[in-house]
Amino acid sequence: MRALVIAKPGQAKVESVPDPIVTADGLLLKVRMVGLCGSDLNSFRGRNPLVSFPRIPGHEVSATIVAGNQRAPEFEVGTNVTLSPYTSCGTCASCRRSRSNACQFNETLGVQRNGALAEYLVMPAEKLYVANLTLKELCLVEPLTVGFHAVARGRVTAEDAVAIFGCGGVGLGAIAAAASRGARTIGIDLDDGKLQLARAAGAHHTINTAREPLHESLAELTAGRGPDVVVEAIGLPHTFLAAVEEVAFTGRVVYIGYAKELVSYETRRFVQKELDILGSRNALPEDFYAVIGMLEERRFPVDEAVSSIVTLEEAPEALRSWSDHPLQIKKIMVRLD
């Protein structure tokens, strides 16, 4: 079969690779479309320490079942599905607490093992989700689940004002999730295009911190108290710090971003404000169902969120140009046909 292979950082091309072997619990899927995300870009750039090479990237998938499995007769041949790209060991501390999204030994598709940018893929039934969605919508499920999970971690309710730092793929999911829980939702970014998309996804207010002061703008929107919940979806030391500074007393801070440098805190703020500081990683099945529900109700600006659809042959060039112009591109999808 054909697949996109990253041979080493900066070098991606379409190659012939062996067909996947169908496992005892696996279903054979024909991959139809794959969304590229920041972690695929990082793999291409050699900036993801978890990736080894050569690697087939891709984990935001829509696919059609081409061979079922007797152990899972509910998944019929011809059905379109999306999937959860994570694994869980079942025995680590996270798994024992039913938080398999944070499994200590997780292997994400396209990161620690070969991913979905290939004609065929074998997946166990427990990772598949059937939904009444288009191929493009199915590819958006997984990236949106990350923000949905963060909002669940932050226990967001309709009583809350929620500020989301970063309106990229991940932040956008948090905005849609907070807005759908009825919270007053504030999107923060440096880019007007991202903020426009944030409003389309449900943000009631937006702040462009390239020209508006963060603290004063948040204070004005929250009667001087600060947001009840801050979700950090950028991954920079200064936004990690700002989350703790800006959040209201007794508020919740949810970190999704991966900061690449050390962050130093005035830890007194944690104590004085009596904060809940939470990490949020990947997503649980309930987050997948919540996102699917939102997309089925057509409550998300799918077309605006996708900047282009390319073929598998065009994918290496698309990765290169995304790497050269990271700010101008929202989401690239690769169709395999």
Ligand X SMILES: NC(=O)c1ccc[n+]([C@@H]2O[C@H](COP(=O)([O-])OP(=O)(O)OC[C@H]3O[C@@H](n4cnc5c(N)ncnc54)[C@H](O)[C@@H]3O)[C@@H](O)[C@H]2O)c1
Residue whose beta carbon is closest to ligand X: 168
Residue whose pair of structure tokens reads 């919540």 in the numeric block: 290
Partner whose binding site includes residue 257, from Zn ion, ligand X, none (CB under 5 to 8 Å by kind)? ligand X
Give the residue, chosen from 57, 58, 154, 169, that forms a contact with ligand X under the rule CB under 6 A: 169
Q: How far is the CB of 60 from Zn ion (least distance, A)?
A: 5
Tell which one of 17, 72, 122, 190 touches ligand X (CB under 6 A).
190
Nearer to ligand X, 125 or 190 (CB): 190
Residues 250-279: x where in contact with ligand X by CB under 6 A, - otherwise, as a string: ------xxx---------------------
145 binds ligand X (CB under 6 A): no
Provide the binding-site residues for Zn ion, judged by CB under 5 A: 37, 88-89, 92, 95, 103, 143
Task: Point out which span in 124-132, 231-239, 267-275, 285-293 binds ligand X (CB under 6 A).
Answer: 231-239
As measured in angstroms, the least distance from the Cβ of 114 to ligand X is 19
**Binding of residue 191 to ligand X (CB under 6 A):** yes
- What's the closest the beta carbon of residue 326 comes to ligand X, in angstroms? 7
Asked, as a colleague might, if the bond just before 85 is cis with ω within 30 of 0, I would say no
Pick what 282 binds: Zn ion, ligand X, none; C-beta below 5 to 8 Å, kind-dependent: ligand X
**Tokens at residue 19, please?**
């067909």
Q: How far is the CB of 41 from Zn ion (least distance, A)?
A: 10
Residues in Cβ contact with 161 at an 8 Å cutoff, skipping those fewer than 6 apart: 183, 184, 185, 186, 221, 222, 227, 228, 229
Distant-in-sequence, close-in-space partners of 303: CB < 8 Å, separation ≥ 6: none
For the CB of residue 282, give the shortest distance to ligand X in the complex, in Å: 5
Under the binding rule (CB under 6 A), the answer on residue 235 touching ligand X is yes
Contact map string, positions 71 to 110, toward ligand X, x by CB under 6 A? ----------------------------------------
**Minimum distance, C-beta of residue 171 to ligand X, in the bound complex (Å):** 5
Nearer to Zn ion, 92 or 200 (CB): 92
- Find where tokens 């080894």 sit: 52
Residue 299 sits at φ, ψ, to 5 deg, of -100, 15
User: What's the rounded Cα separation, in Å, for the pair 229 and 96?
Assistant: 28
User: Of residues 194, 252, 273, 335, which one binds ligand X by CB under 6 A?
Assistant: 194
The nearest distance, CB 218 to Zn ion, in angstroms, is 28
Give the amino acid at 214.
L
The item of ligand X, Zn ion, none sharing an interface with residue 92, based on CB under 5 to 8 Å by kind, is Zn ion
User: Which stretches of the chain bind ligand X, using CB under 6 A?
Assistant: 37-38, 146, 166-171, 188-191, 194, 209, 233-236, 239, 256-258, 280-282
